[in-house]
Amino acid sequence: MQLTGAQALIKSLEREGVDTIFGLPGGAILPVYDPILDSSIRHILVRHEQGAGHMAEGYALATGKPGVAMVTSGPGATNIVTPIGNAHMDSTPLIVITGQVATAAIGTDAFQECDITGITMGITKHNFLIQSAHEIPRVVASAFYLATTGRPGPVLIDLPKDISQSKMEWWYPETIAELDLPGYRPELPLNDDALALAVELISRSERPVLYVGGGTLKSRAAAELRAFAERTKMPVVTTLMARGAFPDSHDQHLGMPGMHGMYSAVTALQKSDLLISLGARFDDRVTGQLSSFAAGAKIIHVDIDRAEFNKVRFADVALQTNVATALRAFDEAEAMPQNLDVWWKEIRTWQERYPLVYDEPSADGPLRPQHVIEAIARSAAPGTIVTAGVGQHQMWASQHWQFEEPGTWVNSGGAGTMGFGVPAAIGAKVGRPDRTVWCIDGDGCFQMTAQELVTARSEGIPIKVAILNNAYLGMVRQWQEMFYEERYSEVYLSADLPDYVKWAEAMGCVGLRAHNLEEMHAVIAQANQINDVPVVIDFRTDSSEKVFPMVASGSSNDDIMVHPLLRGGAQ
Amino acid sequence: MSPEPFLGQSDPAPVRHHILSVLVENKAGVLARIAGLFARRGFNIYSLAVAPAEGNARFSRVTIVVDAQSAPLEQIVGQLDKLVNVVAITDLAPKDALERELLLATLPVNDDSRASVLDVAANTGASIVDVNAVSVTVMLAGTPGACDRLEKALEAFSDVALQRTGRVALPRLGQTANV
């Protein structure tokens, strides 16, 4: 069967089980947009290429399947660089297809030419510049294999226009051997010596903590984690990238560690004698000052990526495998720590003394952002997916929403990409149309990418967006208040400009606003009734509200600052 | 004739240098991927030599001398191994490796200086590979230390055009490399 390169690309995507492409056409990718008309794949036309990338990420994080985005060359390609970098930092399986100028024009500074494989070399797991139509099936199959195995990540395919227009005889690789990836070994057998040593360290431990990172979700190890944790009675902390890997309602769960983590989670890591790191990477936001991080703890480091071992923190045992395999091996070896009653007694004391608190909102407003999130959460259906941008609202969402299952928390962790929330919510809703999807956003983040509400409305994707509108770039404001003597520099945004209700309405969405508690309850109820179009709510929140607990940048986790309401005692 | 005036004292490559012999797929951009990785991770490269591997058009061998003080060797190898086009990495400790390098240098000469150039060549084991009335080209294939000594000796002359290849290496007989 003779196909054009463009047809072969779309047919290859169909073979990989792709049901949705997020994209925006342009000159160099034009040939590929023709066979989309005849394909079963749904194409979602975005308003900016960054939106396509974040939507594909949201889709991937909510479904566990790779997200696919397609854009044209030059500025189309550079506009999607931020999502690629974001996916690279968070190990999200993402396939990005970019059009490229014709082969003969490459290197001539042709119209809308850019070296996107060069630009993205450092922020992709791998990228391909296709050289002939014949190799399209192999490249597409390889891209999906690379993006989804081992440590997942973004893979970019750059397709010159003349190749998408040229003919090829259709074929498709049936085996991994046909992919021709001689240097790629995503899974290695478990090292028995390392496993035995890990079991030995566990058996000696009196104060262990399961330090659960995003790799636990990526390796779909939530069931294994729960079984292991319940059998061994170890306390669990879930990082920002792992929220949902272990139920927040579980009484062994101490919550999120790190800069804005729960006091008990941060302190349990600090005082532990054994950290079992499960797909986590000792990020600076978790460790604080490295030299004083969990100084008395041995480390069992489980990671699929060997380059994570000893990168930040020395590992007493390094197990290069996926988290599910490691946990099953621990269970088979009947790894069991010492009696943890004393350890739990200590942890319970911290939990009782330093719970998550915030000031009571006054009935007349302004609203407390934490209270708004809890009100939305209380009224939300089980399994609701939450996305967020980056900043204070993201931390409050992670702290105050109860995550019970994988794929319900979609956020930008490593890269900290403002504006992630709205397009990620759209992608998550496309991937999980059966679920309610709330984007908890900040006013600063919302303004970066909210033109995609047009996409949501026109494509019939009814997401719900809660803007915690404090009129500021809130996290930066918090740092300026605390560390720059309240010298506020370029952080004020205005609560009224833009008018978020009019913005929503202009984009075909329902726009609502709440200044006080009565309005807050009313608009949340109203938003929950709307299931056909996107809803945007402008919640007017207190500008001075800060995220606590907090470990100041570069400080020791021992110096965690709790909320002022709790500062009578130890602080 | 005493060789002393012409001999450098030490190998300027750091004590903690390591030689990575990296088998890569012979594909466009592979070298950029390696160089980019070293640059963005802050790993130092002392030298780098690339050639087709074992007569096989599919693969090339890249010999990289790295500064294991700029980053732990384990980290360098771990990151390199993640490059999809990298097929195999062999780590050679200097004491276990046979290292060789090629140096070419062209010097302007006149009747007064020709003899001293020939002296340098003789004392450092370099050979004369090209010569005319006004210049001489010398070549040395030897250990990096020998090339260093020749280079130092040539500092006594002006207007020297000098080129080194960077080293290639194999395990010494009876030594096994870490893979």
Show which residues of A are catalytic: 49, 111-112, 161, 475
Beta strands in A235-297 (DSSP E): 236-238, 253-255, 274-278
Residues of B in contact with A305 (CB under 8 A): 78, 82
Give percent helix, percent strand, percent coil of chain A, each to the nearest 5.
Answer: 40, 15, 40
- CATH 1.20.1370.20 applies to domain A369-540: no
Average pLDDT of the segment spanning B32-48: 92
User: How far, CA to CA in Å, does A242 sit from each of A190, A212, A255, A275, A329?
Assistant: 23, 6, 10, 16, 21
Residues in chain A: 571
Domain range A2-179, CATH class: alpha beta
Q: Edge-to-edge strands of the sheet including B45-53? A: B45-53, B56-67, B17-25, B86-92
Nearest CA to A336 out of A247, A237, A228, A216 is that of A228
Query: pLDDT tens string for chain A (571 positions)?
Result: 999 999 999 999 999 999 999 999 999 999 999 999 999 999 999 999 999 999 999 999 999 999 999 999 999 999 999 999 999 999 999 999 999 999 999 999 999 999 999 999 999 999 999 999 999 999 999 999 999 999 999 999 999 999 999 999 999 999 999 999 999 999 889 999 999 999 999 999 999 999 999 999 999 999 999 999 999 999 999 999 999 999 999 999 999 999 999 999 999 999 999 999 999 999 999 999 999 999 999 999 999 999 999 999 999 999 999 999 999 999 999 999 999 999 999 999 999 999 999 999 999 989 999 999 999 999 999 999 999 999 999 999 999 999 999 999 999 999 999 999 999 999 999 999 999 999 999 999 999 999 999 999 999 999 999 999 999 999 999 999 999 999 999 999 999 999 999 999 999 999 999 999 999 999 999 999 999 999 999 999 999 999 999 999 999 999 999 999 998 754 4
- Token pair 């003779």 is at which residue? A2
Hey, do A2-179 and A192-353 end up sharing a CATH topology, with the first three levels equal?
yes
Search chain A and give the residue with CA nearest B58. A182
Q: What is the maximum span of chain B, computed from C-alpha positions, in angstroms?
A: 57
Search chain B and give the residue with CA nearest A182. B87
CB–CB contact B79 A307 (8 Å): yes
Q: Please, are residues A261 and A237 in contact by the beta-carbon 8 Å criterion?
A: yes
CATH number of B4-9+99-169: 3.30.70.1150
Q: Please, are residues A278 and A215 in contact by the beta-carbon 8 Å criterion?
A: yes
Q: Please, are residues A281 and A306 in contact by the beta-carbon 8 Å criterion?
A: no
How far does Cα A479 stand from its chain's mean position?
24
Superfamily of domain A192-353: TPP-binding domain (3.40.50.1220)
- What is this model's ipTM? 0.92
The pLDDT, as a whole number, for residue A462 is 98
Nearest CA to A315 out of A198, A228, A229 is that of A198
Rounded-to-integer distance, Cα A477 and Cα A475, Å: 5
Query: Considering the entire predicted model, what is its pTM?
Result: 0.94
In DSSP notation, A151-209 reads: S--EEEEEEEHHHHHSEEE-----SGGGG--TT--------HHHHHHHHHHHHH-SSEE
Element (H, E) at B137: strand B135-142
If you ran DSSP here, which 8-state letter would residue A561 be given?
B
Rounded-to-integer distance, Cα B71 and Cα A414, Å: 22
Residues of A in contact with B84 (CB under 8 A): 125-126, 146, 181, 183-184
If you ran DSSP here, which 8-state letter would residue A566 be given?
G
* pLDDT, tens digit, 9 for 90 and up, residues A6-63: 999 999 999 999 999 999 999 999 999 999 999 999 999 999 999 999 999 999 999 9
Hey, do B4-9+99-169 and B17-97 end up sharing a CATH topology, with the first three levels equal?
yes
B155 touches chain A (CB under 8 A): no
* Domain edges within chain B: 4-9+99-169, 17-97
Search chain A and give the residue with CA nearest B24. A183
CB–CB contact B25 A182 (8 Å): yes
* pLDDT, tens digit, 9 for 90 and up, residues B57-86: 899 999 999 987 777 889 999 999 999 999
Superfamily of domain B17-97: ACT domain (3.30.70.260)
At a CB cut-off of 8 Å and minimum separation 6, what does A342 contact?
A206
Q: Please, are residues A525 and A379 in contact by the beta-carbon 8 Å criterion?
A: yes
Nearest CA to B61 out of B158, B169, B153, B172 is that of B169
Terminal C-alpha separation, chain A: 74
Q: Please, are residues A467 and A523 in contact by the beta-carbon 8 Å criterion?
A: no
* Domain edges within chain A: 2-179, 192-353, 369-540
The pLDDT, as a whole number, for residue B92 is 87
CB–CB contact B85 A117 (8 Å): no
Q: Tell me the β-bridge partners of B98.
A: B170
Rounded-to-integer distance, Cα A131 and Cα A104, Å: 11
Residues in chain B: 179
The pLDDT, as a whole number, for residue A188 is 86
Give me the helices (H) in A205-315, please. 214-218, 222-232, 263-271, 284-287
Determine the distance in angstroms separating the CA of B179 from the nearest CA of chain A, rounded to an integer.
13
Residue A23 φ then ψ, to 5°: -165, 180
User: How far, CA to CA in Å, does B83 sit from each of A43, A184, A473, A543, B62?
Assistant: 32, 8, 38, 46, 14
The pLDDT, as a whole number, for residue A571 is 41
